[in-house]
A and B are shown apart, each in its own frame.
Chain A
């Protein structure tokens, strides 16, 4: 096979794997938007906060240690223990549930029935608040997150695909972390879909997304479902935080991955779980292929804007996204 083509395949594979991660972040948005009509600007910060908390718990960092030391003149920073990754992930998941409860009880519970723009502003506030709390709790330094995921290029894949091409092809270059992230994301998406389709709470979640009044009349507590939805979004953020954090360190820029989810949502539609997945894949593959095929001709760095332009084009022709519910206004 021609080497050019094989490199193209490699680009598509890498794009697919990046796309799965975009889809993961977008999924967090879709979950909350469907159930409560809130466009959660804080989803990215949620991922950052989850990753910071995970690192903090694993390394036995004392939360708010800077604050405590400043007030009491003490010098405590660490509990002096290290917690295994699995236990730390479970603890962080609990923290995310507690956070979900707080977010709903102290903020959004009081804003039920408000205009979407007000809910949106509240999530912006929440984003900055959480960012500040995260820094205060765990410090603002860049942290490395190592939960024991394999890293680096997979030599096995390289060696075993080298035969596909000629002399100048050395096999597909694929990061092991990307493979793991893809598998985890696929498992998470499958679990979420199964949960919402086949369980009592999942059915209740879809019911609330559809009609609040009817949901109440069949005995569904809206508050419970909203806390549940925020918790699920927290889990998704945790997984996204682990993957991106392991890849490029836990730092503020982690929260910007939320911006990458925006074009995914415009493409897939804000209300569609399959839309978020397919949208993520299209953007992932699209931006890598575009960079590979056309990038060199126009000076590169197309990955920064390609997704937004693609989303813009889709918006012009299908404002509801590829999979969103069609908006029909009755006259």
Chain B
């Protein structure tokens, strides 16, 4: 079933479509260090795709390649059936790929509401002068975007902190606001870099629920990096396993878990 690109329905009734994004033979080097070596995998529409691996395996680098923060030396990135030329991160964002960061990158001086509104920037078409003069439908546009943002605020249950400056929020809520900002862009592909890092069990459960709900309700395709194996296995439809910049496994959680190479990487068998 996994080897074909035919649409199918998962056990819990979600629709998985064709290939949304495909990475072909990606190699990324920093000077003499090879962070990613000849890795290929695809992400299908509507699925939750996880990238896992031990520390330093190149997971974040891979996410940065997808989101345009790094451009690989070799390989091709295909998105929605087209080859993507080398791009700057803001151009990738405008294609409909939103992301969060491992160390949280929010606008600390702005309120929660304003932070999430920045996620709508790619949806605002009015020109500089119309904006400055508040004319030409700019006001209507602002109202529409506000409504979209309020929906997300309700969805992620952060109504109570709407007006709070982000800098004052506790860690777990910051993570949620960052997710809200990424969601506000109504992305075709949502990238989550360790969405549960540094959280306690309760916060992790909340975040898992939100990720599943986002995927279920909006049909958003999600690619995530995660350390916590248990979480990954419960959440994702398919998993890519990386170690030392190479792909050592790819498949359903069940397949990956029984892969000897993956077990070795995680249990720390010596590399030759």
Chain B residue nearest in CB terms to A228? B128
Do residues A203 and B132 form an inter-chain contact, with CB atoms below 8 A? no
Q: Is A253 an interface residue (CB 8 A)?
A: no
Decide: A216 and B107 in contact? CB cutoff 8 A: no
Contacts A210-B110, A220-B121; A200 near B126 (Cβ below 8 A): yes
Q: Which residue of A lies closest to B99 (CB)?
A: A217
| A200 near B121: Cβ-Cβ < 8 Å | yes
Query: Could you count the A-B residue pairs with CB atoms below 8 Å apart for me: how many are there?
Result: 84
Q: Per-residue CB proximity of B105-134 to A under 8 Å, as 1/0?
A: 111111000100111011010101001101
B251 CB–A CB distance under 8 Å: no
List the A residue with the shortest CB-CB distance to B181.
A218
The yes or no answer to B163 lying at the interface (CB within 8 A) is: no
Cβ–Cβ contact A221 & B90, under 8 A: yes
CA distance A215 to B88 in the complex (A): 12
Chain A residues with CB under 8 Å of B69's CB are 213, 216
Cα(A219)–Cα(B126), bound, Å: 15
Q: Does A168 contact B (CB under 8 A)?
A: no
A211 adjacent to B108 (CB under 8 Å)? yes
B107 lies within 8 A of A207 (CB): yes
Chain A residue nearest to B95 (CB atoms) is: A219
CB <8 Å contact, B94 and A217: no
- Contact in complex: A219, B108 (CB < 8 Å): no
Residue of B88, B93, B121, B185 near A203 (CB, 8 A) is B121
Contact A213 B118 (CB under 8 A): no
Bound complex: CA of A200 vs CA of B128, how far in Å? 8
- B contact residues around A216 at 8 Å (CB): 69, 88-90, 93
Return the CB mask of B94-108 against A: 1 if under 8 Å, else 0: 100011010001111
Interface size class of B (residues with CB under 8 A): 20 to 34
Contact between B114 and A203 (Cβ–Cβ < 8 Å)? yes
Residue contact A211 to B106, C-beta cutoff 8 Å? yes
User: Across the interface, do A219 and B90 meet the contact criterion of CB distance under 8 Å?
Assistant: yes
Decide if B101 touches A214 in the complex (CB within 8 Å): yes
Please determine whether A218 and B108 come into contact, CB atoms closer than 8 angstroms: no
Are B121 and A210 closer than 8 Å at their CB atoms? Answer: no
Question: Are B185 and A210 in touch, CB under 8 angstroms?
Answer: no
Which residue of the partner chain, among B93, B105, B117, contacts A219 with CB atoms under 8 Å?
Answer: B93
Smallest beta-carbon distance A260→chain B, Å? 28
Q: Name 13 A/B residue pairs within 8 A (Cβ), A-sorted.
A: A199-B138, A200-B121, A200-B124, A203-B118, A204-B121, A211-B108, A214-B105, A214-B106, A217-B67, A217-B93, A218-B185, A219-B91, A220-B118
Not counting A214-B101, A216-B69, A217-B182, a sample of 20 additional A-B residue pairs whose C-beta atoms are within 8 angstroms of each other reads A195-B132, A198-B134, A199-B131, A202-B131, A203-B114, A203-B118, A204-B121, A207-B107, A209-B109, A210-B106, A210-B109, A213-B105, A214-B105, A214-B107, A216-B88, A218-B93, A218-B122, A219-B90, A219-B91, A221-B90
